[in-house]
């Protein structure tokens, strides 16, 4: 083994040992976020000769070594296909995978693990509902309500459904701060409404929507509600039963877990009456050429070999997040957002996009006469990673009359030094553009 590789392994091992000590400390006292940062190996590198400043966690979070190690462990020692295997490894892998489902169930407080469907990510979660529920229960002239701040993944699947069925898409407008206008929502609801699909926290604006109230209003018309929780579950506690959400979907990779795995929660009575989404292995109980009977929940919706390592990794990511504590994460990130507001809002020529009263740790902005793409490149040269562009929310860009935005987003591992670096880099942008 080359020496360099060996020493790298050693150092990861060391970080892991330290982090195990840390995790046990976390459970008994308030977490020390400077130590938590040590758990994320990707953050500890230089980019173009500068220490990496990662402010793109809304796109994807980095993974703690505790999660990386478990995925590595699975592939080294447990790799096998799950369900129906009689041999040792298959049983071991099945147990790990199903255990992850229970962790997810507890994480969002679902009633049963039968309500937890593993999917590729939030996008597939929405598509599953739009295809399966939509094809069966939404018809010509029916109405689907979304909001002006949806990610494309919670717009396009519904548009496709509308095209297939001749249904109509309705959009809840937002105010200039980027908050839903709830009176308008109430006006949109009517007997023709058959689905409401709303983002819990906006990836572009950071706005946290009053989803409990949205669900209550929809239920007055017996309309099911799907919540896109891609930008929620990593920032604050979500209890699907307290919300009375009918569907709730999120991605693993924004929750400090692997890419390619996500969750669709659905109320059992809804999932039961929905037809399968895809056909294949695992989703059946009996197949003949004349007739097929489908497997029970949640397997009815899980055709084919799933992302086993991903599911397992997500389970451990949830363990990690719970170990730190979502209350503590929420406080830490709120303090960062406060600091960012103080530090950045004073910069002349900077305009924030999204100033909702209730806001998660996203800071989108534009600079006078400088295109966000140019901002992104200059920040990158300074070692600061932000996202620029329309952020998959083109209707929002038009609402705020900007071609694109630059977005800094925070995770549990960020600190005020990161924001100082961002502020300095923004001043550099102005310097380049004179």
Partner 1 sequence: MNSELNELYQQVILDHNKNPRNFRKIEEPTHHSEGLNPLCGDHLHIYLIIENERVADIAFQGNGCAISKSSASIMTEVLKGKPVKEAEEKFKEFHDLITGHITDEDQIEAMGKLAVFKGISEFPVRVKCASLAWHTMNAAVHQKDTVSTE
Where does this chain bind partner 1 (CB under 8 A)? 369-374, 377-378, 381-382, 388-390, 394, 397, 403-404, 428, 431-434
Residue 230 near residue 122 (C-beta atoms within 8 A): yes
At its nearest, how many Å lie between partner 1 and the CB of residue 388?
7
Closest CA to 340 of 253, 264, 426, 239: 426
At its nearest, how many Å lie between partner 1 and the CB of residue 118?
30
At its nearest, how many Å lie between partner 1 and the CB of residue 371?
4
At its nearest, how many Å lie between partner 1 and the CB of residue 390?
5
Residue 265 near residue 249 (C-beta atoms within 8 A): yes
At its nearest, how many Å lie between partner 1 and the CB of residue 374?
5
End-to-end CA distance of the chain: 51
- Name the 3-class secondary structure at 37: helix
- Name the 3-class secondary structure at 366: strand
Task: Name residues whose C-beta falls within 8 Å of residue 312's C-beta, 6 or more positions apart in sequence.
Answer: 70, 71, 74, 96, 97, 100
Q: Which structure tokens are listed for 53? A: 């400043």
Q: Which is nearer to partner 1, 345 or 427 (CB)?
A: 427
At its nearest, how many Å lie between partner 1 and the CB of residue 385?
12
Q: Please say if 392 is a catalytic residue.
A: yes
At its nearest, how many Å lie between partner 1 and the CB of residue 231?
21
- How far apart, in whole angstroms, are the C-alpha atoms of residue 361 and residue 58? 9
Q: Which structure tokens are listed for 13? A: 């091992």
Closest CA to 326 of 106, 12, 111: 106
Where b means 16+ CB within 10 Å and e means fewer, 297-317 reads bbbbbbbeebbbbbbbbbbbb
Q: Which is nearer to partner 1, 67 or 366 (CB)?
A: 366
Residue 149 near residue 199 (C-beta atoms within 8 A): yes
- How far apart, in whole angstroms, are the C-alpha atoms of residue 338 and residue 433? 28
Catalytic residue among 119, 324, 392, 422: 392
Residue 170 near residue 145 (C-beta atoms within 8 A): yes
Q: Which is nearer to partner 1, 49 or 348 (CB)?
A: 49
Neighbouring-strand partners of residue 225: 196
- How far apart, in whole angstroms, are the C-alpha atoms of residue 64 and residue 279? 35
Catalytic residues: 392
């Amino acid at each position: 083994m080359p020496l360099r590789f060996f020493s790298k392994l050693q150092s990861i091992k060391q970080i892991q040992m330290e982090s195990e000590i840390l995790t046990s400390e976390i459970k008994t006292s308030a977490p020390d976020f400077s130590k938590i940062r040590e758990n994320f190996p990707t953050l500890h590198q230089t980019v173009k000769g500068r220490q990496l400043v990662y402010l793109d966690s809304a796109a994807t979070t980095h993974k703690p070594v505790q999660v990386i190690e478990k995925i590595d462990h699975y592939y080294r020692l447990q790799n096998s296909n799950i369900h129906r295997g009689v041999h040792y490894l298959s049983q071991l892998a099945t147990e790990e995978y199903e255990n992850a489902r229970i962790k997810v169930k507890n994480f969002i407080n679902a009633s049963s693990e039968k309500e937890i469907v593993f999917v590729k990510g939030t996008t597939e979660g929405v598509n599953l509902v739009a295809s399966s529920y939509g094809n069966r229960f939404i018809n010509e002239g029916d109405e689907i309500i979304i909001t002006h701040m949806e990610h494309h993944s919670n717009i396009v699947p519904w548009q496709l459904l509308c095209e297939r069925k001749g249904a109509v898409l309705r959009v809840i407008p937002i105010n200039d701060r980027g908050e839903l206008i709830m009176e308008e929502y109430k006006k949109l609801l009517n007997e023709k409404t058959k689905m409401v699909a709303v983002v819990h926290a906006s990836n572009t604006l950071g706005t946290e929507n009053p989803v409990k109230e949205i669900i209550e209003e929809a239920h007055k018309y017996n309309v099911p509600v799907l919540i896109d929780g891609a930008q929620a579950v990593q920032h604050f506690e979500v209890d699907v039963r307290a919300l009375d959400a009918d569907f709730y979907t999120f991605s693993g990779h924004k929750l400090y877990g692997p890419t390619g795995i996500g969750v669709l929660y659905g109320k059992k009575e809804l999932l039961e009456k929905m037809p399968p989404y895809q056909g294949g292995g695992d989703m059946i109980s009996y197949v003949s050429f004349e007739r097929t009977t489908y497997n029970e929940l949640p397997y009815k919706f899980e055709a084919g070999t799933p992302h086993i390592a991903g599911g397992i990794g997500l389970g451990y990511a949830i363990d990690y997040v719970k170990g730190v504590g979502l209350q503590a994460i929420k406080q830490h990130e709120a303090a960062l957002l406060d600091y960012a507001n103080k530090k950045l809002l004073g910069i002349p020529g900077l305009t924030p996009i999204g100033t909702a009263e209730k806001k998660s740790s996203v800071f989108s902005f534009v600079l006078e006469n400088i295109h966000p793409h140019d901002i992104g490149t200059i920040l990158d040269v300074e070692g600061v990673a932000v996202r620029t562009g329309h952020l998959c929310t083109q209707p929002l860009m038009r609402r705020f009359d900007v071609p694109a935005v630059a977005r800094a987003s925070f995770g549990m591992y960020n600190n005020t030094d990161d924001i100082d670096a961002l502020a300095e880099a923004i001043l550099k942008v102005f310097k380049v553009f004179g």
